[in-house]
Amino acid sequence: MSDEVSALGGVTRSEGIAKVTEMPLQGMVTVRGDLSDKVLKKAILTVTKLEVPVLAEINQVGEYALCWMSPDELLMFCPYASVEIIIAKLNKSLLKTHSLVADISDARTIFCVSGSMARDVIAKLAPVDISPKAFQNGMFRRSRLAQVSAAFWMPADEVVHVICFRSHAQYVFTLLKVAAQKGSGLNVF
C-alpha cells in the first residue's frame, strides 16, 4: 500500500498580501440524497453530531464539518483516518434510503489563504461578492477561481479555505500566490 501524499507536498507561500498554504490531507465524504429526508438527516446527525446545513452554509464542530453543495448533496469533512468507518456507518444507516456515500478525500485539495487581505485574494479570482456583508464565517460558496471549479469558506476572520480538484492543485496554488503578490491589495474591504 502506498503512503498518503498531498498534491503539492504542503507547499506554502508567505510573502505578499496573504499567506497561501496547502493544508494537510483531509477526510472528505460526499453524501448524495434528499436532504429533507428524515432518515438521511438522522444518519448524518448520528455520525457527525451536526445538523444538515441550510443553503450555502457550513456547519462545523471540531474535526467535523458539513457543507451544503446542492439541494441533494453534502460535503463532509472528517479526520482522514476515519473516512472508511464513517462511510460504513452512513451506508448502514441509509441502506433503505436512496443515497450515495463516497470517499473523495484523495480527489480534492484544500488551500488556506490567511492574513488581513485574504478576501482581496479571493475577490480577484472568484465572480462572487466576498465583501464582509455578503460573505461571513459559516457561509460556503461553490464558484470558480479563474477557469476551474472551486469552493471556499471562512472558518475564522482573515482566513479563507479553498477546495479544488486535486488535478487542479498546481494551477490553483499558482493563481492564489499571484493574486497574493506584494503590493496587489485591493483595499476595498
Residue 4 falls within a domain, yes or no? Answer: no
In whole numbers, what is the pLDDT of the chain averaged over residues? 96
Residue 1 falls within a domain, yes or no? Answer: no
Residue 172 falls within a domain, yes or no? Answer: yes
pTM higher than the cut 0.85: yes
Residue 187 falls within a domain, yes or no? Answer: no
Is the domain of 20 the same as that of 111?
A: yes
Is the domain of 78 the same as that of 125?
A: no
98-116 pLDDT per residue, tens: 999 999 999 999 999 999 9
135-147 pLDDT per residue, tens: 999 999 999 999 9
Is the domain of 42 the same as that of 88?
A: yes
Q: 3-state secondary structure string, 110-169?
A: EEEEECCCHHHHHHHHCCCCCCCCCCCCCEEEEEEECCEEEEEEEEECCEEEEEEEHHHH
Q: How many CB atoms lie within 10 A of CB 137?
A: 12
* Residue found under cell 470558480: 144
pLDDT higher than threshold 90 for residue 91:
yes
pLDDT higher than threshold 80 for residue 1:
no
Provide the pLDDT for residue 2. 65
Residue 6 falls within a domain, yes or no? Answer: no
For residue 53, give the CATH number of its domain. 3.30.70.1520
**Continuous segment of H or E residues that includes residue 20:** strand 19-22
Q: What is the CA radius of gyration of the chain?
A: 17
Is the domain of 31 the same as that of 98?
A: yes
Number of domains into which the chain is organized: 2
32-79 pLDDT per residue, tens: 999 999 999 999 999 999 999 999 999 999 999 999 999 999 999 999
Q: 189: closest CA among 96, 118, 94? A: 118
Domain boundary among 51, 78, 106: 106
For residue 123, give the CATH number of its domain. 3.30.1360.120
- Chain centroid, CA 85 distance in Å: 21
Percent of the chain clearing pLDDT 90 (strictly above)? 94
Domain boundary among 106, 131, 160: 106
Range of the domain at 142: 12-24+107-179
